[in-house]
Structures are given as structure tokens and as C-alpha cells.
Amino acid sequence: MEQAETIVFRQMRAGDIAAVQAIEAECFTNPWSIQAFADEMKNPQAVTFVAESGGRICAFINARIVLDEVYINNIAVTMAWRGRGIGFALLGEFERALPEFVTFITLEVRAGNMPAQGLYRKSGYTQVGIRREFYTEPPEDAFLMTKYMEKNKEGERS
């Protein structure tokens, strides 16, 4: 990231839905609708964070918290912002904002999506399984990746 750029990480607001859905449509072959993101805002288990610069949304992450587990549905960075560390920073901010009781975070990633796999590995996720033919359009296996949340001696997450 250039030093002049200030990135703000925060929870998604209703006014962000169209921008988040536009990033979703840019990045995924089977994108969620505007209504799907509006429904997520009403779901008490759902959380969506955005990265914003200059009043524009440049990335988002959507997940569900179920008991002590977190399931990441989508994380995406608009093409114009890729390669600047936004995805890594957003994932880190998201993880730090999770409740203390969370024990692990898990997600699926396309077997051929090497940049995303690299991001997850750099963030401490490991491959724990394969879901055969999980994706369509085009058909592809998914790697199941998980990060176990551990606390250090001071009680903070590491």
C-alpha cells in the first residue's frame, strides 16, 4: 500500500451493500445478490467487514459465527486493489475483532486459486481436507482450510 492511502476496516453498513455486491460480482462466477447481502445484515450469526479507502469499498469479508466456530463464506478484493496487502490486512482485522470464545475459523477455496491459498497460508490457515467437485461454473474441487485460534500467555490471540 502506498503511504498516502488510508484504509479503514469496519463492519459493513446498509449503504455499503451495492459496493460489496459489485466486488462480489467482479470476483466470483456465481455471485451473491444484493438481497443476499441485505439478508446477511439481518442475520445475528453473520458478520461482514469491509476495507474502505477514500470513501470507496475496496474489499470485504463475510462469515458466520456458529457457537465457537467461524465459517468464512467470501473474501474478495476488487481487481484495482489487488497486490497491495489489502486481503491480508482485512483478514487480520476481521480475526482480531472476533469474540474471544472462537476456537477456529474455516473456509473453502478453489483448488486452483493459488493467490487465495497463499493468503490463507500466510495468515496461519492449513489445508485439512478436500471437497470433491464442490464448485461449479467451472467445476473444481475445494480445499478446506482451517485456522485454530490459540491464546498466548497474556491471554491474547496469536
Residues forming the active site: 108, 120
Q: What is the largest CA-CA distance in the chain?
A: 46
User: How many Å from the N-terminal Cα to the C-terminal Cα in the chain?
Assistant: 24
Q: Give CA–CA dist 46/74, Å, rounded.
A: 12
| Residue 132 · residue 149 · CB < 8 Å | no
CA angle 78, 147, 1 (to 5 degrees): 35
CA nearest neighbour of 8 among 48, 43, 55: 55
